[in-house]
Amino acid sequence: MGRVPVLVADWLRSALDFALPPRCPGCGVIVADVHIFCADCWKQVEFLGDSGCHSCGLPLEATEQTTCGRCLGKPPRIARMRAAVAYDDLSRGLAIRLKYGRKVAIARTMAHYMAPLVRPEGEAILIPVPLHRTRLWTRGFNQSALVASELSRRLKVPANPLLLRRTRRTPPLKGMSPVQRRKTVAGAFRIADKAAVAGKTVILVDDVLTTGSTAEACASVLKRAGAARVELVTWARVVKPSQLMR
């Protein structure tokens, strides 16, 4: 019985999605099909695709083969990082509207471009980067959990937003140096059920990747809980270091 309202809400949402004309996820003008950017926005979006370092995804130097020198020197805790697009005003706008605007439609658009970048190895599970419960209460939902559930639907990989918890409220990392960021998020996460991640490939899902310090902190507790491999997929990624301070 408890599921009925959810089903009705789902049905209403699908009916509405069907009835409303599709809009450009970048600027909102009416477009021919869902998830498609209008011509102006399309020119602006920088899709990152699957090029770059096999592990961290950053652009490779001409001399490097498939893995960058940094990842070869010290294998990163997150075995594979991928982002659909570069972080700029347009992709940032989508991330903001995912938090405050047409949530489900935006989450679907993001998942549409993120899903092809996920190649789960072995038994995999999608885990959104969690919010602290006080932030969850004020916002009412975790935007990354919405994207994870859309990815789950597309990839047929289970998603669980409850396995990883944020036990400490951390201040916004904006404007902090990479070292400050690492210190701020260290020890802020906990696994609710270690058996549920042990031996699995965990695919962390987040909206924006900046320095990766939050995802690193998540990966460290996941590895300690016995996860075989941790990957990260995000909507946007900061590729210009100057944007970190914004």
Contacting range for Zn ion; rule: CB under 5 A; set: 27-35, 161-169, 195-203, 219-227: 27-35
CB of 70 to Zn ion, least distance (A): 5
Number of chain positions touching Zn ion (CB under 5 A): 10
In this structure, what token pair is assigned to residue 220?
Answer: 């460290």
CB of 69 to Zn ion, least distance (A): 8
Q: Does 27 bind Zn ion (CB under 5 A)?
A: yes
Structure-derived torsion over alpha carbons of residues 214, 193, 159, 149, reported in degrees to the nearest 10: -70
Q: Which is nearer to Zn ion, 80 or 200 (CB)?
A: 80
- Torsion sign (Cα): 91, 99, 76, 244: positive
> Per-residue string for binding with Zn ion, 37-76, x by CB under 5 A?
-x--x-----------x-xx-----------x--x-----
CB of 24 to Zn ion, least distance (A): 3
Q: Which is nearer to Zn ion, 27 or 86 (CB)?
A: 27
Alpha-helical regions (H) of the chain: 4-19, 39-44, 69-73, 89-100, 103-114, 133-139, 143-155, 178-185, 213-224
- DSSP code per residue over 191-217: ES-GGGTTTSEEEEEEEEESSSHHHHH
From the list 47, 8, 53, 101, the residue with the least C-alpha distance to 212 is 53
CB of 85 to Zn ion, least distance (A): 14
In this structure, what token pair is assigned to residue 39?
Answer: 């011509």
From the list 142, 138, 176, 175, the residue with the least C-alpha distance to 160 is 142
Q: Does 215 bind Zn ion (CB under 5 A)?
A: no
Distance CA 104, CA 112 (A): 12
Site for Zn ion in 148-207 (CB under 5 A): none
Distance CA 207, CA 238 (A): 11
Q: Which is nearer to Zn ion, 24 or 222 (CB)?
A: 24
Q: Which is nearer to Zn ion, 77 or 194 (CB)?
A: 77
Q: Which is nearer to Zn ion, 41 or 145 (CB)?
A: 41
Classify residue 21 by burial, with Cβ atoms within 10 Å: 0-12, 13-18, 19+. Answer: exposed
Q: Is there a contact between 191 and 166 (Cβ–Cβ < 8 Å)?
A: no
CB of 146 to Zn ion, least distance (A): 22
Contacting range for Zn ion; rule: CB under 5 A; set: 22-30, 90-98, 169-177, 218-226: 22-30
Q: Does 209 bind Zn ion (CB under 5 A)?
A: no
CB of 167 to Zn ion, least distance (A): 30
Q: Which is nearer to Zn ion, 38 or 136 (CB)?
A: 38
* Footprint of Zn ion (CB under 5 A): 24, 26-27, 38, 41, 53, 55-56, 68, 71
